[in-house]
Amino acid sequence: MSAPATLIRRIALQGRYETMGMLRNGEQLLIAIVLPLLALIGLTVTPLLDTYTDDRIAMAAPGVLALCTVSTALTGQGIATGFDRRYGVLRFLSTTPLGQSGLILGKIIAVLAIMVIQVVVVGGTALLFLGWQPALGGLLPAAAQLVLGAAAFTSLGLLIAGTVRPEATLAITNLLWVLLAAAGGILFPVASWPDVFEPAAHLLPSTALGDALRSALIDAQFNLTASIVLLVWTVVASLAAIRWFKWS
Amino acid sequence: MKDLGPVEALDNKMVRVIDGVHLRAYPGQVTALLGPNGAGKTTTLACAQGLMPPNGGTVRLLGENPYQAGAALRSRVGVMLQEGGLPQAIRPLALLQHVAGMYQNPRSVDELAERLGIQGFANTPIRRLSGGEKQRVALAAALVGDPEVLFLDEPSAGLDPQSRAVVFDLIQELRAEGLGIILTTHLMDDAQRLADYVFIIDAGRTVVHGTVAELTAATDESAGVERMLTFDAPPGLSLDLPKPFTAVENVPGRYTVAGQLTPGVLAALAAEWAAHNVMPASIHMAPRSLEDVFLDISGKDLR
């Protein structure tokens, strides 16, 4: 009688498959690696950050790591899932022993795997070539908050991918990436926002992740408020995705 | 329901969708869901495969409720979706190997690929394959787990005649191996060639079911084979045939004579042609087909 491979093996296989799929896709690489690297270099060699800091790389690196999270979890996974849904891949794989839960877990593994690569590439570039000296005491909190940010943005990406057409997912997630990068508190602190809007800006998941990483990697502090904001976004977006995600 | 096959199979393999559709399928048999596009075949399969919960009624797949069933049940069932459900960027063999990894004892990917002629385009990304090539990859993906039950949604869609022969041979071989195969088709010919048992579905309901022989047999048990003779001749002829036969002019110039035709009836028909000095442009005669059954049931005025 036919039997499934073990759960661990199925999820690991799907994780590897999704990771390779993202790494082989030129647009995905562009938004996951190339654009964040350009942002890192741009913020270091131009005076854009000088209004906030006199140590450009110290403020640029955490922001770019936050941007990497949005690239992979929201834009990358959102687009990949949207088109897989269009072509019936989600339906097909959910009839195999992998199942719907295995599919989701595989995606989470893929997001984390890509983020490890991003941290190595972006962090390595900052450390080796741009003179970055992160606060060592903040490394663990930063890692935890990157994972939390990944959870929040993956939930949002899947929510979008599971509810609108893939072309719309493509447009929305790319647009969000640009807007959040430019003004969503990721690369630049929201201190630059008009005073009326600033409290609202702190409720954005992008601001929360950017602030959390800056607190950790600049001041070695655990930003509790930002973590709570991310947690709430994760819970709400996950519940919404579970409620409204359409598999076909 | 009658003549459903071996009784021990009853609780072993039973697909039953109630909401206008009632059906069962058994191991070692090909069960066809036949109906026009939009009849509800794919939805019925989606319920049977556990992809969606039915609004009412009961579905059992290998004795279990398939909706959100565990990996153990899913590993015993192979599914080929109508649009294939294949990722577009990957190459066929890589996909098949990936899917094979989900099972403890998968079929050999190489053998399947060889058998279905996938080797010839093994290195082309799936998005660049033709419809028939994608269809063969999807069939291989459904089979790679060595399932006991196989669902095929429109397996012959997009296939050229050679691929169709290969796929049909394989389906027959799998049936001989004891797989329970459930397929949908809107092609009467597919059902007639492949199916042991046919459920005709129209507008979301099973309207009739039976073996192909039962469905196409004469309504009178004692009678012989029903045949249908069609011929093209000038319109408006009034032909006098022995009772109860009549030549019905369905469309101007096309006539059919149906029933248990005998050489005597044909001789009478030929005599009438001679009397009217008419030579038909074409003559075709065949046993009653599933298509005729379907037309009878769904109403000729509808389609």
The tens digit of pLDDT for each residue in B230-243 reads: 899 999 888 888 88
Mark yes or no for CB contact B84/A92 under 8 Å: yes
Are B198 and B237 in a shared domain? no
Give pLDDT, residue B296. Answer: 67
Phi first, then psi: give them for residue B254, nearest 5 degrees.
Answer: -120, 120
Lowest mean pLDDT among A74-78, A143-147, B291-295: B291-295
Q: Do B160 and B108 share a domain, yes or no?
A: yes
**Is residue B9 pLDDT above 60, yes or no?**
no
Average pLDDT of chain A?
Answer: 94
Spatial CB neighbours of B241, under 8 Å, sequence gap ≥ 6: B247, B257, B265, B268, B269, B272
- Answer yes or no: is A128 within a domain: yes
What percent of chain B is modeled with pLDDT above 70?
A: 87
Predicted pLDDT of residue B144 = 97
Please say if the pLDDT value at position B102 is more than 60: yes
**pLDDT tens string B49-99:** 888 877 777 788 888 888 878 999 999 999 999 888 999 999 999 999 999
Q: Say if residue A215's pLDDT is above 90.
A: yes
Is residue A144 helix, strand or coil?
helix
pLDDT of residue A143: 97
Shared domain for B143 and B178, answered yes or no, is: yes
Q: Return the amino acid letter for B107.
A: R
The residue among A210, A24, A94 whose CA lies nearest residue B71 is A94
Pick from B51, B141, B148: CB nearest A94: B51
Domain span including residue A236: 7-244
Identify whether residues B161 and B107 lie together within a single domain. yes
Does B178 contact A at CB distance below 8 Å? no
| Cβ–Cβ contact B131 with A under 8 A | no
Residue A87 lies in a domain: yes
With respect to residue B197, please indicate whether it lies within any of the assigned structural domains.
yes
Percentage of chain A modeled with pLDDT above 90:
89
| Domain assignment of residue B294, yes or no | no
Contact (CB<8Å) A4/B102: yes
Same domain, residue pair B57 and B154 = yes
Which pLDDT score, from 0 to 100, does residue A35 have? Answer: 96
Distance CA B51, CA B15 (A): 14
B75 CB near a chain A CB, below 8 Å? Answer: yes
Report the pLDDT value the prediction gives residue B299, as an integer from 0 to 100.
Answer: 52
Is the model's pLDDT at B43 over the cut of 50? yes
pLDDT-derived band at B8, boundaries 50, 70, 90 = very low
pLDDT at A93 over 80: yes
Give the distance from residue B5's alpha carbon to the nearest chain A alpha carbon, in angstroms: 22
Residue of A nearest to B76 (CA): A2
- Please report which confidence band the pLDDT of residue A99 belongs to, taking 50, 70 and 90 as the band edges: very high
Please tell me the total count of domains within chain A: 1
Query: Which residues in B lie closer than 8 A to residue A247 (C-beta atoms)?
Result: 51
B196 & B241 share domain: no
Q: What is the ipTM of this complex?
A: 0.90
Average pLDDT over residues A226-242: 96
Domain presence at residue B203: yes
**Residue B38 Rama label (left phi>0; alpha psi -120 to 50; beta):** left
CATH of the domain at B64: 3.40.50.300
A contact residues 16-45, partner B, Cβ 8 Å cutoff: 17, 21, 24-25
**pLDDT for B73:** 93
A2 assigned to some structural domain: no
Structural domain of B261: 227-287
Smallest Cβ–Cβ distance between A92 and the set B72, B81, B147 belongs to: B81
**Is B221 contained in some domain?**
no
Which residues in chain B are contacts of A10 at CB distance < 8 A?
A: 71, 101-102
Whether A130 is covered by a domain: the verdict is yes
Nearest CA in chain B to A101: B68
Helix (H) or strand (E) run with residue A26 in it: helix A26-29
Residues B212 and B178 placed together within one structural domain of the fold: yes
The verdict on residue B73 lying in a domain is yes
Cβ <8 Å between B102 and A98: yes
Question: Is the residue at B161 inside a domain?
Answer: yes
Q: Is the pLDDT of residue A165 over 60?
A: yes
Q: Is some CB atom of chain A closer than 8 A to the CB atom of B168?
A: no
Query: Range with the lowest mean pLDDT among A68-82, B34-48, B135-149?
Result: B34-48
Helix axes A77-86, A139-161, angle to 10 degrees: 30
Residues A110-163 have pLDDT tens digits of 999 999 999 999 999 999 999 999 999 999 999 999 999 999 999 999 999 999
Predicted local distance difference test score (pLDDT) of residue B303: 35
SS3 assignment, position A131: coil
Tell whether B133 and B152 lie within a shared domain: yes
Per-residue pLDDT, B225: 67
The reported pLDDT for the residue numbered B222 is: 46
Is residue A1 assigned to a domain?
no
In a domain? residue A145: yes
Output A95 or A194, whichever has higher pLDDT.
A95
A48, pLDDT greater than 80: yes
Query: CA–CA distance from B146 to each of A65, A89, A131, B108, B190 (Å)?
Result: 45, 20, 57, 9, 23
pLDDT for B213: 79
- Are B118 and B264 in a shared domain? no
Residue B151 has pLDDT above 80, yes or no: yes
A89 touches chain B (CB under 8 A): yes
Q: Mean pLDDT over residues B141-167, rounded?
A: 91
Mean confidence (pLDDT) of chain B: 82
Structural domains counted in chain B: 2
Q: Does A4 touch chain B (CB under 8 A)?
A: yes
